Amino acid sequence: MACKLPTVQRFLSTLLLVLSLGGCVHRDEALVLVGGVAVPAARIDSAPLGLLPSGALAIGRLDGRALFASALGGTTADIVARVLPLGRESNFSAARDVHRVFGAIYAMQGADFCAVLQGNFDVQTIAQAAARRAATPSGTPLVRTPYAGYSIYTVANIGFAVLTPHTILSGDETGMRRALDRLRSGRLEHELEPWMGTTLGDAKAAFAVVASLDKEGVIQAVAERVPFVLGATRVRLLGNFASPGINAVGTVDYADVDAASRGAAGFAQLRELAAFASFFAAFGGAQAPKLEVEARERQLSFAASVDTAFMQFLLGTLGQALRPATSSWVGR
């Protein structure tokens, strides 16, 4: 089915932070030691999902080139530049260098996340910039922490480390440490349920998200912010950046029929919220997002489209929200 999608501010802010990360290599970039055995960089580059720690609540894949080539690319690049931990001295540009992103959200020691960025990175220049403890745009220096044979560089608990010239690891400290533990032990096999792998592997979609919400306590925590997931067990979402801006289709599976009915009501609230937000965006020519929902027993299917003007309004709002944080980061 055709791809159409809504998006949420939390996912956008996490994604934009992930897109903005670079790193440092302090060894031969072609090899990484795992249990005393040299592993070719090609193996790491070929297993981005295998690098992510197990036990993820949600996993996403993004085609970076498709995003930055879209009408939303310029606005997104501006926000990325605002939160970029490394400046121009690292010769890193998300719009130019990041081709694919694989990310996951966890509940390890709070709300943790980890991501793998793939593309082409100027390892030597990034390493030199990080070694000089290069200041971020806010003036805060990067903090270096050795771990598992790598140097993790962080700003306000968000960090990065280069694994190869084509693969960067990023996330918060907990997420990155678990990923490096995994790499050190040599566990690079995918640990996804078949339905997750099928969704994330859909080559026609510019982005895909899967979530398993049937773990104890997870649904209640998420439902406080996203009401329609109460009682949900699985979420699948596929999307693209074609006209009018962002489009997606997806399904939400529920534990029972009653939970699915409540989920449908939650989607109705989401539609009303989007219509309210579009009132403020209308001055820029934005149209209200379109959202269609169909309930069948324990599953909801949805299709949505959000036009470019409305998305630029949301991204602009996000950029304003990020400005105080990026201007007040404090290094440790």
Give the pLDDT of residue 23: 37
Give the three-class secondary structure for 146. Answer: strand
Element (H, E) at 255: none
What pLDDT, on the 0 to 100 scale, is given for residue 86?
A: 59
- Model-level pTM? 0.80
pLDDT at 112: 86
Which residue, chain included where needed, has tokens 């080139």?
Answer: 65
> What's the pLDDT score for residue 219?
54
* Per-residue DSSP letter, 203: T
The reported pLDDT for the residue numbered 264 is: 86
Residues 103, 59: Cα–Cα separation, whole Å: 6
Tens of pLDDT along 211-226? Answer: 988 765 555 555 555 6
Q: Provide the mean pLDDT of the chain.
A: 76
- Mean pLDDT to the nearest integer, 234-251: 94
User: pLDDT confidence of 229, banded at 50, 70, 90?
Assistant: confident
Check residues 3 and 185 and name the one with the higher pLDDT. Answer: 185
| Band of residue 322 on the pLDDT scale cut at 50, 70, 90 | low
Q: What is the predicted pLDDT for the residue at 129?
A: 79
> Alpha carbon of 271 to those of 302, 303, 305: distances in Å?
12, 12, 12
List, for residues 43-79, the tens digit of each pLDDT value.
889 999 999 998 888 999 999 999 999 988 888 877 7
Place of tokens 């998420």: 222
Q: What residue spans define the domains of the chain?
A: 9-185, 194-319
pLDDT band for position 256 (cuts 50, 70, 90): very high
Q: Residue 266, Cβ neighbours under 10 Å: how many?
A: 21
| CB contact at 8 A, 53 and 175 | yes
**pLDDT number for residue 29:** 38
> Measured between alpha carbons, how far apart are the two ends of the chain, in Å?
49
Return the pLDDT at 31.
43
